[in-house]
């Protein structure tokens, strides 16, 4: 079975590929196609956007497609940046711009009130009428400054309380073992395994 990753984010591609590596599927990415699209995220929820992206790449390639829509929700900011996580500081901004804005908005907020969670919804589009979704979450705290060199996005400010490490201080394997994306991918693995068994009949 072939499965297309419906994302333009290379950091996500690395994390997703690592957890699908041992399955009997050939994982394709945008680099395997002459043309790929950046799907406009017009939904207001992670689920809507994940479905939009998976469906659009299925329409483009005719192959089963897996999309990830994810974001960070900070309690002291009423759930911001949420579904707008990638464009928090504006269109075409860097991860550093988004982190900077987040830290400025949280200036003066005490540690106890810096709770946050990453959420991830993954959608697999098998056919136009057959789309499955799963989700994953991880709770954490927003640090007061940026640190660590691994990961991407808000990882340099996201502290995982059970170990006290930021996601940017974990290896890809350590992060995948506890992250929102890792949890969603464990469920996606089951979905794929069930589907391959059913297809084999």
Q: Which of 55, 114, 166, 181 binds ligand ITT (CB under 6 A)?
A: 181
- 125 - beta bridge partners? 65, 131
Give the residue with the Cβ less far from ligand ITT, 118 or 160: 118
In the stretch 92-111, what mask flags binding to ligand ITT with x, by CB under 6 A? ------x-------------
| Closest CB 41 distance from ligand ITT, rounded Å | 6
Q: Which of 16, 51, 179, 185 binds ligand ITT (CB under 6 A)?
A: 179
Residues touching ligand ITT, count (CB under 6 A) = 22
CA dist., res. 132 & res. 41, Å (int):
18
Give the residue with the Cβ less far from ligand ITT, 92 or 199: 92
Give the residue with the Cβ less far from ligand ITT, 86 or 186: 86
- DSSP code, position 29: -
Among this protein's residues, is 59 annotated catalytic?
Answer: no
Sheet holding 130-142, edge to edge: 26-28, 2-5, 65-74, 115-127, 130-142, 158-160, 165-166
Q: Which of 65, 70, 133, 176 binds ligand ITT (CB under 6 A)?
A: 70
Q: Does 186 bind ligand ITT (CB under 6 A)?
A: no
Q: Does 176 bind ligand ITT (CB under 6 A)?
A: no
Closest CA to 135 of 60, 71, 59: 71
Here the tokens at position 145 are: 């400054």
Distances (CA, A) of 124 to 32, 47, 178, 192: 18, 11, 22, 9
Q: Which of 11, 59, 68, 69 is catalytic?
A: 69
Q: Does 80 bind ligand ITT (CB under 6 A)?
A: no
Q: Are 66 and 16 in contact (CB under 8 A)?
A: yes
Q: Are 57 and 122 in contact (CB under 8 A)?
A: no
List active site positions. 69
For ligand ITT, the binding residues (CB under 6 A) are 7-9, 12, 41, 68-72, 85-86, 98, 118, 151-155, 167, 179, 181
């Amino acid at each position: 079975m072939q499965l297309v990753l419906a994302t333009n984010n290379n950091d996500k591609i690395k994390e997703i590929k690592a957890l699908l590596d041992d399955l009997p599927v050939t994982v394709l990415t945008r680099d395997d196609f002459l043309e790929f699209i950046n799907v406009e995220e017009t939904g207001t929820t992670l689920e809507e956007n994940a479905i939009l992206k998976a469906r659009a790449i299925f329409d483009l390639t005719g192959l089963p497609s897996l999309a990830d829509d994810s974001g960070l929700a900070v309690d002291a900011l009423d759930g911001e940046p949420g579904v707008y996580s990638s464009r928090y500081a504006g269109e075409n901004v860097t991860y550093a711009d988004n982190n900077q804005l987040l830290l400025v908005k949280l200036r003066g907020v005490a540690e106890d009130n810096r709770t946050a969670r990453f959420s991830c919804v993954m959608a697999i589009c098998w056919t136009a009428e057959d789309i499955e979704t799963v989700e994953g979450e991880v709770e954490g705290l927003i640090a007061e400054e940026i640190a660590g060199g691994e990961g991407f996005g808000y990882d340099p400010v996201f502290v995982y309380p059970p170990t006290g490490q930021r996601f940017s201080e974990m290896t890809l394997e350590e992060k995948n073992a506890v992250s929102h994306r890792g949890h969603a991918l464990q469920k996606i693995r089951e979905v794929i395994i069930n589907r391959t068994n059913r297809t084999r009949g």
